[in-house]
Structure 1
Amino acid sequence: MTHLQFNLDFEKIKQEVVQSDLNDVIKSSIILLFNEYMEMERNQYMKNAPHERDGDRQDYRNGYYERDLVLNVGKVKLKVPRTRNGGFSTKIFEKYKRCDKAFLLSMLEMVINGVSTRKVTKVVEQLCGEKVSKSMVSELTKKLDPIVKKWAQRSLKQNYYNYIFVDAMYIKVREYHRVVSKAVYIALGVNSEDKREILGFKVANTESKETWGEFFQSLKARGLQSPKMIISDAHEGLKAAIMESFLNTSWQRCTVHFLRNIITTMPKKGSKEARDHLKEIFKAPNERISRMLKDEFIEKYDSDNRYAKAIKTLDAGYEDAIQFYAEDKDTHVHIRTTNVLERLNSEIRRRENVIRIFPNVDSAFRLIGAVLMDYEEEVDIGGKRFFYREKN
């Protein structure tokens, strides 16, 4: 991708800041930035500066035309450069025409779900400076459906994923005049370059071994290879599906979920010291110290019947919860829990709260897919990596 270098008139920006409120400042800055960027695009296309004589020129500058661009801060009016032969075209509108798909889809689902058009129009007008009609919503849906489906079915053959995080969240969907619960399966991978990528998602009727198996098979059909490790909670159906679907893959039980399972069996009062001890077991710098802390915990509380179930739970699940120690130390803090997916689920939930109840499964797939696409575009951008590797 070509990078253009240009200078902004900061005195003009400063003047706008003094004379405008915050929202107007943002709009004014965007207008200045985009107009200058498009001017540089045209100069690059022309291969000469304004008023520069060139006998080999193929086209001529031909002034500007105005065009509106709707962003989350509101509608801005831009001066779009043009040429006499019409060969020049700016990339600005291509880059920003999608805006925030998930936000617009939230508006769409509000309309479908019975919220009055008047209320939706008012919300959108306050946030974007534009009114949304039913025809616009319909057109938006038609354009986004194939985009989300294509992304959800893309090939996974290009990368090998060392670690895969999987989890399920639950949503409400209207079905046959009833409101029912649906499971949303999500898989996030970390590839050999330590970059995160959303591998896939599925909206299913239940969370079971069979549906998890179908989800994994769909990922494999798209080219996914067995990873080094899969990180998840201890749902029995999920565990069984992982074992059957991915041979020679270790399973890391999320330590946050595991600790929660143990702590719920302990007395609520007077157990703070025991809870802190438990947490240190899985924060230990290596496996040897972790095992030592575990043995100390069992020895210390073994004679107290109030901790009998906690000790039994710890002993039964400990090995699955320390698989992360076999991997590089730099990865431990990230791969011992499913926190990375919990944050992603929170982002989905934030958008889903606008709707509360999806009118059908297709609308749920559409919105969640749009949110995941937006999330993937923002995560680990540039040279950023998921793991911080200490230099030798």
Structure 2
Amino acid sequence: MDKIALEAFARETTKSIKTPSELDEHRGYEKHSPTNDSNSRDGYSSKRLITDDGEIQLEIPRDCDASFEPKLVRKHQTRFQSMDDKILSLYAKGMTTREIVATFKEMYDADISASLISKVTDAVLEQVVEWQSRPLDAVYPIVYLDCIVVKVHQNKQVINKAIYLALGVNMEGQKELLEMWMSETEGRSSGSVCSPNFKIDG
């Protein structure tokens, strides 16, 4: 069996997966083992999960008192984190929501909704706002400024933009990323480089 056939076989055998091992660990004994525990097994519940190889069907074991909480695939989880990373990567490249939906259908035969894409991107934006609002020290004795130029999609064109990074060293000698900001072009003067949120002494 060549590599391509082996990978295809592996994908097919994971279309329906049962995961009883975690329940055995939770209950402290394996299936059919003698026990006085009243919390017995209660069959399986079906779950669809989006993976790198498309959608798979999982059979998640249940217990009677519903105390079992799966760790590998948590309750209400419908996709792996890697799928969120792919959504964000496509979004960062300038693809529209409709294009991302079509890409997932073509590459993974997975049906994802426009609302899911919005939830993923909105969650990242919330984290960005939280990071921007975090408290900083009053003084950083050393601040490094750097710049990277990236290509971005804007108004159906690909243009260069400069992303500035401010890395500070606090009084304890620890490095912190203080701020990131974007400019149309890479500045040559100190005034165009410095963020308006910084006050530089000396």
TM-score, normalization: structure 1? 0.37
Given that residues 26 and 68 in structure 2 are in contact (C-alpha distance below 8 angstroms), is that contact kept between their aligned partners in structure 1?
Answer: yes
* Residue 113 (structure 2) pairs with residue 129 (structure 1): no
Q: Find the counterpart in structure 1 of residue 83 from structure 2.
A: 100
* Residue 159 (structure 2) pairs with residue 183 (structure 1): no
Aligned partners of 1:97, 1:90: CA distance in 2, in Å?
Answer: 14
Aligned partners of 1:156, 1:100: CA distance in 2, in Å?
Answer: 33
Given that residues 49 and 56 in structure 2 are in contact (C-alpha distance below 8 angstroms), is that contact kept between their aligned partners in structure 1?
Answer: yes
Aligned partners of 1:126, 1:178: CA distance in 2, in Å?
Answer: 25
Aligned partners of 1:211, 1:58: CA distance in 2, in Å?
Answer: 70
- For 1:182, give the aligned amino acid: K
Given that residues 82 and 88 in structure 1 are in contact (C-alpha distance below 8 angstroms), is that contact kept between their aligned partners in structure 2?
Answer: yes
Q: Find the counterpart in structure 1 of residue 33 from structure 2.
A: 52
Given that residues 147 and 186 in structure 2 are in contact (C-alpha distance below 8 angstroms), is that contact kept between their aligned partners in structure 1?
Answer: no
Q: Find the counterpart in structure 2 of residue 110 from structure 1.
A: 95
Question: 1:200: Cα distance to partner?
Answer: 6.5
Question: 1:170: Cα distance to partner?
Answer: 2.9
Q: Find the counterpart in structure 2 of residue 78 from structure 1.
A: 58
Aligned partners of 1:27, 1:154: CA distance in 2, in Å?
Answer: 44
Task: For residue 75 of structure 1, give the secondary structure of its aligned residue in structure 2.
Answer: strand
Q: Find the counterpart in structure 2 of residue 67 from structure 1.
A: 47
Instruction: Name structure 1 gaps, 5 residues minimum.
Output: 1-16, 158-163, 190-196, 219-243, 248-392
Q: Find the counterpart in structure 1 of residue 124 from structure 2.
A: 144
Aligned partners of 1:40, 1:152: CA distance in 2, in Å?
Answer: 42
Task: For residue 136 of structure 1, give the secondary structure of its aligned residue in structure 2.
Answer: helix
Q: Find the counterpart in structure 2 of residue 214 from structure 1.
A: 195
Matches within 5 A, 1:144-183: 144-150=124-130, 166-172=146-152, 174=154, 181-183=160-162
Calculate percent identity across the aligned residue pairs: 19
Structure having the higher strand fraction is 2
Given that residues 149 and 160 in structure 2 are in contact (C-alpha distance below 8 angstroms), is that contact kept between their aligned partners in structure 1?
Answer: no
Question: 1:66: Cα distance to partner?
Answer: 1.6
Matches within 5 A, 1:293-372: none
Question: 1:185: Cα distance to partner?
Answer: 2.8
Aligned length: 181
Matches within 5 A, 1:194-233: 199=177, 202-205=180-183, 206-208=185-187, 209-210=190-191, 212-214=193-195, 217=198
TM-score, normalization: structure 2? 0.64
Q: Find the counterpart in structure 1 of residue 9 from structure 2.
A: 25
Task: For residue 70 of structure 2, give the secondary structure of its aligned residue in structure 1.
Answer: coil
- For 1:183, give the aligned amino acid: A
Matches within 5 A, 1:7-22: 21-22=5-6
Given that residues 184 and 201 in structure 1 are in contact (C-alpha distance below 8 angstroms), is that contact kept between their aligned partners in structure 2?
Answer: no
Aligned partners of 1:24, 1:90: CA distance in 2, in Å?
Answer: 28
Question: 1:82: Cα distance to partner?
Answer: 0.9
Change in Cα spacing, 1:200 to 1:27, as seen in structure 2 (3 Å) is farther
Question: 1:104: Cα distance to partner?
Answer: 0.9
Question: 1:204: Cα distance to partner?
Answer: 1.4
Question: 1:79: Cα distance to partner?
Answer: 1.2
Question: 1:88: Cα distance to partner?
Answer: 0.8
Given that residues 171 and 184 in structure 1 are in contact (C-alpha distance below 8 angstroms), is that contact kept between their aligned partners in structure 2?
Answer: no
Question: 1:45: Cα distance to partner?
Answer: 1.1
RMSD (CA atoms): 4.2
Instruction: Name structure 2 gaps, 5 residues minimum.
Output: 138-143, 169-174
Structure having the higher helix fraction is 1
Aligned partners of 1:23, 1:60: CA distance in 2, in Å?
Answer: 37
- For 2:70, give the aligned amino acid: T
Given that residues 145 and 164 in structure 2 are in contact (C-alpha distance below 8 angstroms), is that contact kept between their aligned partners in structure 1?
Answer: no
Task: For residue 42 of structure 1, give the secondary structure of its aligned residue in structure 2.
Answer: helix
Given that residues 64 and 81 in structure 1 are in contact (C-alpha distance below 8 angstroms), is that contact kept between their aligned partners in structure 2?
Answer: yes
Change in Cα spacing, 1:77 to 1:147, as seen in structure 2 (3 Å) is farther
